[in-house]
Amino acid sequence: MLIQMKDICKKYVLGGEEINALKDVSLEVQKGEMVAIIGPSGSGKSTLMNILGCLDVPDSGTYILDNLLMDTARENELAVIRNQKIGFIFQQFNLLNKLTALQNVELPLIYRGIPAKERLQRSMGALKKVGVANRKDHLPNELSGGQQQRVAIARALAGNPPIILADEPTGALDTKTSQEVMTLLKELNEQQGHTIILITHDNQVAELASRILRIRDGKITEVGVRND
């Protein structure tokens, strides 16, 4: 079991009003799964993503990631865990405009202190895996949206993290490019064994996962498993 959450609760105070963003959320993700967490705006899925990605901690409950207890970890410990255990893919790509595709992929490895030769090998391997190695010297503004997202996926893969956490990975893409990116993510899961968690509001994106968790009003309301 790669992820275990038990009775996770998270509250926020906005404008003097207390909001229960997550209410006793429990879930498990096994190594090699592709899981979609789907819900409308305000459902709690962004809060859940932040806790899954160690960007935030719960008010109560237990979160175990790759056999490590997260809910009592300090910020510096969470930063290390984020860098080593989770590859992030964001809706807006989050590439640095002044760095080439290769340099963007290398950046998290620099933070990990990976030697230059190994860094280059890993980064080029990741770019080849997602089909944009021939664009390694291009800046983000010289790439299409789909190519930028592929570079972002390569950046997530380069560190070989146990989990790929994709937050609305097709939200900034047209329909055709969205299908290509989702096909790539599904191949990475099915053919290469990457564990992928998708955060989305799009039913078509969620349907590509092997398991669907629906979240509403801060609670997991339904678990769907595809039989194909």
Inform me whether the pLDDT recorded for 225 exceeds 60.
yes
Q: Pairing mode, if any, of strands 219-225 and 211-216?
A: antiparallel
pLDDT in tens, 42-51: 899 999 999 9
Per the prediction, the chain carries an average pLDDT of: 92
Q: How confident is the model at residue 41 (pLDDT cuts 50, 70, 90)?
A: confident
CA distance 154 to 157: 5
How much is the pTM? 0.89
Q: DSSP assignment of 58-117, as one string?
A: -SEEEEEETTEE-TT--HHHHHHHHHHHEEEE-TT----TTS-HHHHHHHHHHHTT--HH
The per-residue b/e assignment along 192-212, b for 16 or more CB within 10 angstroms, e otherwise, is: eebbbbbbbebeebbebbbbb
Q: How confident is the model at residue 2 (pLDDT cuts 50, 70, 90)?
A: very high
Helix (H) or strand (E) holding 21: strand 17-29
pLDDT of residue 103: 97
User: Tokens 């997550």 map to which residue?
Assistant: 22
Inform me whether the pLDDT recorded for 136 exceeds 90.
yes
> Could you tell me how far CA 217 lies from the centroid of its own chain?
22
Average pLDDT over residues 195-218: 92
pLDDT in tens, 7-27: 999 998 888 888 899 999 999
Lowest mean pLDDT among 18-27, 45-54, 135-144, 169-178: 169-178
pLDDT of residue 17: 87
